[in-house]
């Protein structure tokens, strides 16, 4: 019978079991997470959580008590300097066991055991979740009735919106079909009036006559002055051509040769 056997001996003697739990606790403190079997993790949780509670009081006495269990000064230093400040506000429950399945071979149940405050992924998810608050029945009934009323009114509202959209579309279509050239009419009239005013101004303004033209038109034609009769041009006698003697001189030797 299994009476008063609350501790799992894990198939080991007392000395072996204490050494194994001491080493596992040191690894958990240094690495913040280890992979082991579920029974060992449950026994390790009973072993290490009282040590973390003692580390909240950083005194020589508490350090000696922790060192008696761990037998590792580096693990004691890490526990008092880094772990205890993070878990100082937590009233217990410093570790978490995450089951991963069964091991091949002996089919043993495996798990992760980790320090809760050092898993940043789980902490961020916990902050993102919102806390739920209870509501009274009156508020819940009123909240349930409101969507029903809104659902009853929605078809009418949708029909009114559809009609308003159709009316707007029709008005826009009419506006596009019949454009009103209001702004173009004044511009055309101004363009037509502009040349008329220029022609009228041109007729009203007299042409200024230059004094030179008037003097030339009014002045009488002057009579030519008495001039001496023009002498007839004297013709010079033509000079005899000089080429004739040369031609004769050439012809004479030819006659002699004959």
In this prediction, residue 215 has a pLDDT band, given cuts at 50, 70 and 90, of very low
Q: Does residue 173 carry a pLDDT above 70?
A: yes
Whole-number pLDDT of residue 4: 87
35-49, 122-136, 172-186, 188-202: least confident range = 188-202
H helix intervals, 110-183:
120-128, 137-177
Beta bridge partners of 115: 95
Instruction: Label residue 32 left, alpha or beta by phi (over 0 means left) and psi (-120 to 50 means alpha).
Output: left
Closest by CA to 79, choosing from 45, 121, 115, is: 115
CA R_g for the chain: 64
Q: Where are the domains of the chain?
A: 14-128, 139-173
Helix (H, G, I), strand (E, B) or coil at 58: coil
121-125, 167-171, 184-188, 189-193 — which one is most confidently predicted on average? 167-171
Q: Does residue 22 carry a pLDDT above 90?
A: yes
CB–CB of 20/43 below 8 Å?
Answer: no
Cβ neighbours for 22, distance < 8 A, ≥ 6 positions apart: 47, 69, 70, 71, 72
Q: What is the pLDDT of residues 216-253, one digit of tens each?
A: 445 445 555 555 555 655 566 555 555 545 555 555 55
Q: Does residue 213 carry a pLDDT above 50?
A: no
Query: Using CA atoms, how far apart are residues 235 and 257, in angstroms rounded to an integer?
Result: 44
Closest by CA to 37, choosing from 86, 127, 103, is: 103
Whole-number pLDDT of residue 191: 46
**Lookup: tokens for 57:** 């009081």
In this prediction, residue 147 has a pLDDT band, given cuts at 50, 70 and 90, of low
Q: CATH top-level class for 14-128?
A: alpha beta
Q: Does residue 188 carry a pLDDT above 50?
A: no
Residue tagged 């009239």 (tokens): 189
Q: What percent of the chain has pLDDT over 90?
A: 41
Higher-pLDDT residue of 25 and 167 is 25
Whole-number pLDDT of residue 169: 83
Query: Using CA atoms, how far apart are residues 39 and 42, in angstroms rounded to an integer?
Result: 5
Closest by CA to 47, choosing from 7, 91, 98, 88, is: 7
Closest by CA to 40, choosing from 52, 53, 22, 55, is: 22
Closest by CA to 6, choosing from 36, 42, 54, 52, is: 42
Q: What is the pLDDT of residues 49-102, one digit of tens each?
A: 999 999 999 999 999 999 999 999 999 999 999 999 998 889 999 999 999 999
pTM for the full predicted model? 0.48
Helix (H, G, I), strand (E, B) or coil at 43: helix
């Amino acid at each position: 019978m299994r009476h008063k056997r609350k501790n799992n001996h894990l198939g080991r003697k007392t000395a072996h079991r204490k050494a194994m739990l001491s080493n596992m606790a040191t690894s958990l403190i240094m690495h913040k997470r280890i992979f082991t079997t579920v029974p060992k993790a449950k026994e390790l949780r009973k072993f290490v959580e009282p040590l973390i509670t003692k580390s909240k009081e950083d005194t020589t006495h508490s350090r000696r008590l922790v060192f008696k269990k761990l037998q590792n000064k580096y693990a004691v230093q890490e526990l008092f300097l880094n772990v205890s400040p993070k878990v100082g506000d937590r009233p217990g429950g410093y570790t978490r066991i995450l089951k991963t399945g069964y091991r091949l071979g002996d089919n043993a149940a495996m798990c992760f055991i980790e320090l809760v405050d050092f898993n940043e992924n789980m902490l961020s998810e916990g902050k993102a979740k919102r806390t739920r608050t209870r509501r009274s029945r009156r508020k819940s009934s009123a909240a349930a009735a409101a969507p029903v009323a809104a659902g009853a009114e929605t078809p009418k509202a949708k029909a009114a919106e559809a009609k308003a959209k159709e009316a707007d579309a029709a008005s826009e279509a009419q506006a596009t079909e019949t454009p009103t050239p209001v702004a173009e009419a004044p511009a055309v009239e101004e363009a037509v009036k502009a040349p008329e005013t220029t022609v009228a101004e041109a007729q009203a303004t007299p042409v200024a006559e230059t004094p030179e033209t008037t003097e030339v038109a009014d002045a009488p034609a002057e009579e030519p002055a008495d001039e001496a009769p023009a002498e007839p041009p004297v013709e010079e006698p033509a000079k005899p051509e000089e080429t004739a003697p040369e031609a004769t001189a050439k012809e004479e030797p030819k006659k002699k040769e004959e």
